[in-house]
């Protein structure tokens, strides 16, 4: 009996030593292997990786409302054309009795996004006619009938390639009113809610240039109040509080824009070999990875599932820079033929994914979504990627599509443990 036990122990020692050597060797390899940071699953199964490329892709855009942006854009670039809407409501900012000596609208330029050193930009300013209205939150290109915008009331000039100053201003002249004084009084009267033949539909600013030249101004939502669009008025105030005797004094009154937005369209014919994400003209990309037959519905643990997209930073349609994205599951696969109208699930977005400008790589963690696709195969209709701040600025980033080299194509990496018996 003792001999048998000893014999068994002796036989086990080499096996044990071999196991230690194998384990040590495995640990050394695992340092650079996929899933090396994951403990083995049932039956000492180590993680594996599947690398998939999309079976279907699509890119489309929606026009984003920009009234909450910190910026206002005017001009053209890479197929984009942007105009500015401004509205001032002076009702609560003026004294009871006054006369306007002079006034000017002031805008603060932040930067020239696309320069044109050959010529300056003339910005034409028109009153929006009384039959058109717009709301700061909601207005997009096409909401106003630009063909019926009256001729320019005034204009001002922006430099072609360098901002030697950051403050630009223009005066307004009477439009259906007898004087500048009457113009402000008309706007004030409209704001009071009283019946009036006057109206205040705001101002329409557009560039006269057809060449590429794009300038960015600070908006009414900018963090610095001093840089917001404003109406600066030099007025004479009549004070009759002292026994009915007029006392006059000079004053300066400032009225900040009550509403503003930039409206954008895009006429660029984009290269279909690329996928796009962008702001203002909110480009969105949809991807479908076919998981059918790759995993059993039960017994698989998904440790991490990431989608990687590589940007082409030298692409001719690259403008500005996106900062991050959200993703949403698609409700069905009608997007394959009609992405613009296809429904998606608003409640399924993941935490934000951040674009790495240094590596030009966008990485999206979709672990939970992939796990559900494996458990419920019929729910995989693909998912949509959109930028995290589509209203903030004008930007477009081009990503390599499925015709690129394998190393640059969008791909889905799934690191998983197969615990099936």
For residues 362 and 309, the answer to whether their CB atoms sit within 8 Å is yes
Q: What is the pLDDT of residue 240?
A: 66
In the chain, how many domains are there? 2
Residue 3: count other Cβ atoms within 10 Å of its Cβ. 7
Whether residue 332 sits in one domain with residue 190? no
**pLDDT at position 382 over 90:** yes
Q: What is the pLDDT of residue 288?
A: 98
Q: Which H or E run contains 339?
A: none
For residues 66 and 200, the answer to whether their CB atoms sit within 8 Å is no
Whether residue 201 sits in one domain with residue 321? no
Name the 3-class secondary structure at 130.
coil
Instruction: Spell out where 2-67 has E strands.
Output: 48-52, 56-63
Whether residue 281 sits in one domain with residue 261? no
Q: Hey, which of 73-82, 154-163, 297-306 has the most confident mean pLDDT?
A: 73-82
Q: What is the pLDDT of residue 350?
A: 63
Give the whole-angstrom CA distance, residue 85 versus residue 203. Answer: 6
Give the whole-angstrom CA distance, residue 51 versus residue 388. Answer: 26
Q: Phi-psi category of 35—alpha, beta or left, where left has phi over 0 and alpha has psi -120 to 50? A: left
Whether residue 178 sits in one domain with residue 139? yes
* Stronger pLDDT, 54 or 346, i.e. the higher one: 54
* Stronger pLDDT, 174 or 110, i.e. the higher one: 110
Q: Is residue 3 part of a domain?
A: no
Whether residue 261 sits in one domain with residue 122? yes
Give the whole-angstrom CA distance, residue 139 versus residue 87. Answer: 13
**pLDDT at position 164 over 90:** no
For residues 403 and 273, the answer to whether their CB atoms sit within 8 Å is yes
Give the whole-angstrom CA distance, residue 177 versus residue 49. Answer: 73
Q: Cα 371 from chain centroid?
A: 29
In total, the chain counts a number of residues equal to 421
**pLDDT at position 25 over 50:** no
Whether residue 85 sits in one domain with residue 58? no
265-279 tens-digit pLDDT: 999 999 999 999 999
Give the whole-angstrom CA distance, residue 258 versus residue 86. Answer: 8
**pLDDT at position 76 over 90:** yes
Whether residue 275 sits in one domain with residue 256? no
The answer to which of 6-10, 15-19, 263-267 has the lowest mean pLDDT is 6-10
Q: Percent of the chain beyond pLDDT 90?
A: 60
State the pLDDT confidence band at 14, using cuts at 50, 70 and 90: very low
State the pLDDT confidence band at 238, using cuts at 50, 70 and 90: confident
Whether residue 158 sits in one domain with residue 97? yes
> Residue for token digits 């006057």?
198
Structure tokens of 175?
A: 């439009």
> Which residue among 216, 233, 265 closes a domain?
265
State the pLDDT confidence band at 7, using cuts at 50, 70 and 90: very low
Q: Is residue 239 part of a domain?
A: yes
């Amino acid at each position: 009996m003792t001999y048998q036990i000893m014999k068994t122990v002796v036989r086990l020692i080499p096996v044990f030593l071999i196991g230690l050597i194998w384990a040590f060797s495995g640990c050394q390899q695992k340092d650079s292997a996929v899933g090396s940071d994951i403990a083995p699953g049932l039956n000492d199964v180590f993680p594996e990786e599947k690398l998939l490329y999309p079976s279907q892709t699509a890119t489309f855009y929606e026009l984003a409302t920009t009234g909450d942006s910190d910026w206002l854009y005017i001009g053209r670039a890479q197929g984009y054309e942007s105009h500015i809407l401004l509205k001032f409501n002076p009702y609560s900012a003026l004294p009871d009795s006054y006369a306007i000596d002079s006034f000017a609208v002031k805008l603060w330029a932040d930067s020239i996004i696309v320069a044109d050193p050959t010529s300056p930009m003339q910005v034409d300013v028109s009153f929006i006619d009384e039959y058109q209205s717009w709301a700061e939150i909601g207005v997009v290109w096409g909401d106003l009938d630009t063909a019926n915008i009256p001729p320019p009331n005034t204009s001002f000039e922006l430099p072609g390639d360098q901002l030697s100053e950051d403050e630009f201003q223009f005066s307004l002249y009477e439009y259906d009113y007898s004087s500048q004084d009457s113009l402000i009084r008309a706007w004030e009267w409209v704001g009071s809610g009283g019946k009036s033949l006057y109206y205040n539909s705001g101002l329409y600013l557009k560039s006269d240039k057809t060449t590429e030249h794009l300038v960015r101004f600070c908006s009414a939502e900018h963090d610095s109040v001093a840089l917001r669009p404003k109406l600066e008025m030099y007025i004479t105030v009549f004070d009759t509080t002292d026994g009915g005797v007029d006392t006059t004094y000079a004053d300066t009154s400032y009225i900040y824009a009550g509403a503003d937005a930039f409206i954008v369209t895009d006429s660029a014919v984009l290269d279909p070999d690329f996928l796009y994400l962008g702001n203002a003209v909110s480009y969105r990309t949809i991807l479908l990875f076919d998981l059918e037959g790759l995993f059993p519905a039960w017994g698989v643990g998904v440790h991490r599932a990431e989608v990687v997209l590589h940007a082409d930073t030298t692409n001719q349609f690259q403008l500005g820079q996106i900062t991050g994205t959200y993703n949403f599951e698609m409700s069905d696969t009608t997007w394959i033929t009609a992405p613009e109208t296809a429904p998606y699930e608003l409640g399924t977005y993941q935490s934000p994914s951040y674009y790495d400008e240094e590596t030009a790589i966008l990485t999206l963690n979709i672990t939970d979504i992939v796990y559900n696709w494996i458990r419920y195969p019929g729910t995989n209709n693909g998912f949509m990627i959109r930028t995290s701040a589509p209203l903030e600025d004008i930007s477009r980033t081009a990503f390599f599509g499925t015709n690129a080299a394998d190393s640059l194509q969008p791909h889905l990496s799934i690191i998983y443990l197969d615990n099936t018996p």
